[in-house]
Structure 1
Amino acid sequence: MFELDVRSRKPIYEQLTDKIKEMILYSILQPDEQLPSVRTLSAQLTVNPNTIQKAYRELEREGYIYSRAGKGSFVSPAQQGMNAAKRAEVREELLRLMAEAVYLGFTAAEIGELFKLALEKKGEGDQT
Structure 2
Amino acid sequence: MAWKFDNNFPIYIQIANTIKLQIVTHQLNSGDKLPTVRDLAEIAGVNPNTVQRALSDLESEGFVYSVRTTGRFVTDNLDLIQQTRVSLAKDELENFVTNMLDLGFEQEELVQQLENYLQGE
Q: TM-score scaled to structure 2, two decimals? A: 0.71
Q: Determine if the alignment matches structure 1 residue 43 to structure 2 residue 42.
A: yes
Contact in 1 for aligned 2:5/2:14 (Cα 8 Å): no
1:1-128 matches, within 5 Å, as 4-6=3-5, 8-78=7-77, 80-89=78-87, 94=93, 98=97, 106=105, 107-108=109-110, 111-112=113-114
The 8 Å contact of residues 4 and 16 in structure 1, kept in 2 or not, is answered as no
Paired residue total: 113
- Aligned equivalents of 1:16 and 1:55: distance in 2? 6
Q: 1:42 to 1:86 in 2, by over 3 A?
A: closer
> What amino acid is aligned across from residue 114 of structure 2 in structure 1?
G
Call closer, same or farther: CA 1:92–1:25 in 2, change over 3 Å: closer
5+ residue gaps, structure 2, are none
Query: For each residue in 1:83-124, what CA deviation from the matched residue of structure 2 results, as whole angstroms up to 9, or x when unmatched?
Result: 3333554566647x749x66x9522367528x76xxxxxxxx
Task: Summarize the Cα distance change of 1:85–1:43 in structure 2 as closer, same or farther, 3 Å threshold.
Answer: closer
CA deviation map 1:5-60 (0-9, x unaligned): 24532211111111101110000101110101011122233311110100000000
Which whole-Å CA distance do the structure 2 matches of 1:3 and 1:26 have between them? Answer: 21
Q: 1:36 to 1:18 in 2, by over 3 A?
A: same
User: What RMSD, in angstroms, separates the aligned Cα atoms of the two structures?
Assistant: 3.4
Identity rate of aligned residues, in percent?
A: 32
Q: For residues 83 and 111 of structure 1, do their structure 2 counterparts lie closer, same or farther at Cα, with a shift above 3 Å needed? A: farther
